Protein backbone atom coordinates (compact mmCIF):
# COMPACT_ATOMS: atom_id res chain seq x y z
CA UNK A 1 0.00 0.00 0.00
CA UNK A 2 1.87 3.03 -1.16
CA UNK A 3 -0.80 5.63 -0.44
CA UNK A 4 0.76 8.01 -2.97
CA UNK A 5 -1.45 8.17 -6.01
CA UNK A 6 -0.01 10.08 -8.94
CA UNK A 7 -1.60 13.55 -8.98
CA UNK A 8 -4.14 13.98 -11.78
CA UNK A 9 -3.35 16.87 -14.15
CA UNK A 10 -5.11 20.18 -13.65
CA UNK A 11 -6.99 19.45 -16.89
CA UNK A 12 -8.33 16.20 -15.44
CA UNK A 13 -9.16 17.72 -12.07
CA UNK A 14 -11.16 20.48 -13.76
CA UNK A 15 -13.20 17.85 -15.60
CA UNK A 16 -11.71 18.06 -19.10
CA UNK A 17 -12.74 20.04 -22.14
CA UNK A 18 -16.49 20.21 -21.54
CA UNK A 19 -16.13 21.62 -18.03
CA UNK A 20 -13.39 24.05 -19.11
CA UNK A 21 -15.36 25.22 -22.17
CA UNK A 22 -18.41 25.86 -19.95
CA UNK A 23 -16.47 28.12 -17.59
CA UNK A 24 -14.74 29.90 -20.49
CA UNK A 25 -18.11 30.49 -22.17
CA UNK A 26 -19.43 32.27 -19.08
CA UNK A 27 -16.16 34.11 -18.45
CA UNK A 28 -15.78 35.48 -21.98
CA UNK A 29 -19.38 36.71 -21.92
CA UNK A 30 -18.50 38.64 -18.76
CA UNK A 31 -15.25 40.01 -20.20
CA UNK A 32 -16.77 41.03 -23.54
CA UNK A 33 -19.61 42.85 -21.82
CA UNK A 34 -17.56 44.40 -19.00
CA UNK A 35 -17.99 48.19 -19.04
CA UNK A 36 -14.74 48.55 -17.03
CA UNK A 37 -12.88 46.93 -19.95
CA UNK A 38 -14.89 48.41 -22.81
CA UNK A 39 -14.19 51.90 -21.43
CA UNK A 40 -10.85 51.37 -23.21
CA UNK A 41 -11.83 52.19 -26.83
CA UNK A 42 -9.24 49.83 -28.30
CA UNK A 43 -10.50 46.92 -26.21
CA UNK A 44 -14.11 47.84 -27.05
CA UNK A 45 -13.36 47.89 -30.77
CA UNK A 46 -11.42 44.61 -30.70
CA UNK A 47 -14.07 42.91 -28.58
CA UNK A 48 -16.72 43.83 -31.10
CA UNK A 49 -14.86 42.77 -34.19
CA UNK A 50 -14.18 39.19 -33.07
CA UNK A 51 -17.13 36.75 -33.03
CA UNK A 52 -17.57 35.42 -29.45
CA UNK A 53 -17.60 31.71 -30.42
CA UNK A 54 -14.16 31.97 -32.07
CA UNK A 55 -12.76 33.91 -29.14
CA UNK A 56 -14.17 31.33 -26.70
CA UNK A 57 -12.75 28.53 -28.83
CA UNK A 58 -9.22 29.99 -28.70
CA UNK A 59 -9.33 30.71 -24.97
CA UNK A 60 -10.66 27.18 -24.30
CA UNK A 61 -7.87 25.71 -26.40
CA UNK A 62 -5.30 27.76 -24.51
CA UNK A 63 -6.61 26.89 -21.04
CA UNK A 64 -6.84 23.17 -21.91
CA UNK A 65 -3.30 23.23 -23.23
CA UNK A 66 -1.88 25.18 -20.28
CA UNK A 67 -3.69 22.84 -17.84
CA UNK A 68 -2.01 19.78 -19.33
CA UNK A 69 -4.75 18.61 -21.70
CA UNK A 70 -4.14 17.04 -25.11
CA UNK A 71 -5.11 20.21 -27.02
CA UNK A 72 -2.62 22.48 -28.74
CA UNK A 73 -3.08 26.26 -28.68
CA UNK A 74 -3.32 27.55 -32.26
CA UNK A 75 -3.97 31.26 -31.68
CA UNK A 76 -1.63 34.21 -31.71
CA UNK A 77 0.82 34.88 -28.89
CA UNK A 78 -0.38 36.99 -25.97
CA UNK A 79 2.01 39.74 -27.04
CA UNK A 80 0.69 39.80 -30.60
CA UNK A 81 -2.99 39.74 -29.69
CA UNK A 82 -2.80 42.36 -26.92
CA UNK A 83 0.06 44.70 -27.86
CA UNK A 84 -2.15 47.34 -29.51
CA UNK A 85 -4.85 47.30 -26.83
CA UNK A 86 -3.02 49.40 -24.19
CA UNK A 87 -4.37 47.30 -21.32
CA UNK A 88 -3.77 48.96 -17.92
CA UNK A 89 -3.19 47.37 -14.48
CA UNK A 90 -6.69 48.56 -13.48
CA UNK A 91 -8.24 46.78 -16.46
CA UNK A 92 -6.28 43.69 -15.50
CA UNK A 93 -7.92 43.83 -12.04
CA UNK A 94 -11.38 44.03 -13.67
CA UNK A 95 -10.53 40.98 -15.80
CA UNK A 96 -9.50 39.05 -12.64
CA UNK A 97 -12.74 40.09 -10.97
CA UNK A 98 -14.71 38.63 -13.90
CA UNK A 99 -12.65 35.46 -13.56
CA UNK A 100 -13.45 35.25 -9.85
CA UNK A 101 -17.17 35.55 -10.60
CA UNK A 102 -17.05 32.69 -13.12
CA UNK A 103 -15.07 30.54 -10.68
CA UNK A 104 -17.69 31.17 -8.00
CA UNK A 105 -20.61 30.48 -10.31
CA UNK A 106 -19.22 27.05 -11.23
CA UNK A 107 -17.77 26.36 -7.77
CA UNK A 108 -14.27 25.70 -9.07
CA UNK A 109 -12.38 24.27 -6.04
CA UNK A 110 -9.90 26.59 -4.30
CA UNK A 111 -6.76 24.62 -5.22
CA UNK A 112 -7.67 24.55 -8.93
CA UNK A 113 -8.56 28.27 -8.82
CA UNK A 114 -5.08 29.01 -7.49
CA UNK A 115 -3.43 27.01 -10.26
CA UNK A 116 -5.56 28.66 -12.94
CA UNK A 117 -4.80 32.13 -11.54
CA UNK A 118 -1.09 31.35 -11.71
CA UNK A 119 -1.45 30.45 -15.39
CA UNK A 120 -3.32 33.68 -16.08
CA UNK A 121 -0.82 35.71 -14.03
CA UNK A 122 2.09 34.29 -16.04
CA UNK A 123 0.82 36.32 -19.03
CA UNK A 124 0.72 39.67 -17.17
CA UNK A 125 3.92 41.13 -18.60
CA UNK A 126 2.86 40.24 -22.13
CA UNK A 127 -0.57 41.84 -21.81
CA UNK A 128 -0.42 44.86 -19.50
CA UNK A 129 1.25 48.14 -20.41
CA UNK A 130 2.06 51.14 -18.24
CA UNK A 131 4.01 49.44 -15.48
CA UNK A 132 7.56 49.78 -16.81
CA UNK A 133 9.93 52.27 -15.18
CA UNK A 134 11.52 52.93 -18.56
CA UNK A 135 13.11 51.27 -21.59
CA UNK A 136 15.26 48.26 -20.67
CA UNK A 137 15.46 49.25 -16.98
CA UNK A 138 13.14 46.51 -15.83
CA UNK A 139 14.43 42.94 -15.84
CA UNK A 140 11.85 40.43 -17.05
CA UNK A 141 9.79 39.37 -14.06
CA UNK A 142 7.87 36.78 -15.99
CA UNK A 143 7.81 33.38 -14.34
CA UNK A 144 8.83 30.40 -16.42
CA UNK A 145 6.18 28.22 -17.98
CA UNK A 146 2.47 28.96 -17.93
CA UNK A 147 0.66 30.33 -20.95
CA UNK A 148 3.17 33.02 -21.80
CA UNK A 149 3.80 34.03 -25.36
CA UNK A 150 7.02 35.38 -26.80
CA UNK A 151 8.53 38.44 -25.17
CA UNK A 152 8.04 41.63 -27.09
CA UNK A 153 11.41 42.73 -28.52
CA UNK A 154 12.49 46.05 -27.01
C1 LIG B 1 -7.49 42.85 -19.06
C2 LIG B 1 -7.16 41.70 -19.63
C3 LIG B 1 -7.50 41.34 -21.06
C4 LIG B 1 -8.25 42.00 -22.02
C5 LIG B 1 -8.98 43.33 -21.89
C6 LIG B 1 -8.21 41.17 -23.23
C7 LIG B 1 -8.83 41.50 -24.43
C8 LIG B 1 -8.67 40.81 -25.62
C9 LIG B 1 -9.18 41.20 -26.90
C10 LIG B 1 -9.99 42.48 -27.15
C11 LIG B 1 -8.79 40.28 -27.82
C12 LIG B 1 -9.07 40.27 -29.34
C13 LIG B 1 -7.87 40.92 -30.02
C14 LIG B 1 -8.00 40.96 -31.52
O15 LIG B 1 -8.38 39.97 -32.15
O16 LIG B 1 -7.70 42.02 -32.09
C17 LIG B 1 -8.06 39.25 -27.10
C18 LIG B 1 -7.53 38.10 -27.66
C19 LIG B 1 -7.14 36.99 -26.92
N20 LIG B 1 -6.93 36.98 -25.56
FE21 LIG B 1 -7.18 38.52 -24.28
N22 LIG B 1 -7.48 40.05 -22.99
C23 LIG B 1 -7.03 40.11 -21.68
C24 LIG B 1 -6.27 39.15 -21.03
C25 LIG B 1 -6.08 37.86 -21.50
C26 LIG B 1 -5.50 36.75 -20.75
C27 LIG B 1 -4.99 36.85 -19.30
C28 LIG B 1 -5.51 35.66 -21.57
C29 LIG B 1 -5.03 34.25 -21.31
C30 LIG B 1 -4.45 33.82 -20.23
C31 LIG B 1 -6.08 36.07 -22.84
C32 LIG B 1 -6.27 35.26 -23.93
C33 LIG B 1 -6.59 35.70 -25.20
C34 LIG B 1 -6.61 34.85 -26.37
C35 LIG B 1 -6.31 33.34 -26.41
C36 LIG B 1 -6.95 35.66 -27.47
C37 LIG B 1 -7.10 35.23 -28.93
C38 LIG B 1 -5.76 35.32 -29.64
C39 LIG B 1 -5.93 35.24 -31.13
O40 LIG B 1 -6.65 36.07 -31.67
O41 LIG B 1 -5.31 34.38 -31.76
N42 LIG B 1 -6.41 37.41 -22.76
N43 LIG B 1 -7.99 39.61 -25.76
Convert the pLDDT of each residue in 40-67 to its tens digit.
999 999 999 999 999 999 999 999 999 9
**What is the residue with the minimal CA distance to atom 21 of ligand 1?**
82
The alpha carbon of 109 and the centre of ligand 1 are apart by a number of angstroms equal to 24
**What is the residue with the minimal CA distance to atom 22 of ligand 1?**
82
**Domains of the chain, with CATH numbers?**
11-127 (1.10.490.10)
pTM: 0.84
What are the pLDDT digits (tens) for 70-93?
Answer: 999 999 999 999 999 999 999 999
What are the pLDDT digits (tens) for 97-152?
Answer: 999 999 999 999 999 999 999 999 999 999 999 764 334 444 444 444 445 443 44
pLDDT cut 70: percent of the chain above it: 81
| Residue in 21, 30, 49, 78 to alter for ligand 1 test, most ligand atoms within 8 A of Cβ | 78
DSSP character string of 24-93: HHHHHHHHHT-HHHHTSHHHHHHHHHS-HHHHHHHHHHHHHHHTT-S----S--HHHHHTTS-B-HHHHH
**What is the residue with the minimal CA distance to atom 32 of ligand 1?**
59
Amino acid sequence: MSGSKPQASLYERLGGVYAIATVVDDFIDRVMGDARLNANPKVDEAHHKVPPPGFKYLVTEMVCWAAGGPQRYTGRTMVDSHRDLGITPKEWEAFLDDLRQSFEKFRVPAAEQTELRAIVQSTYDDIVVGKDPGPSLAPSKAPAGGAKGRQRPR
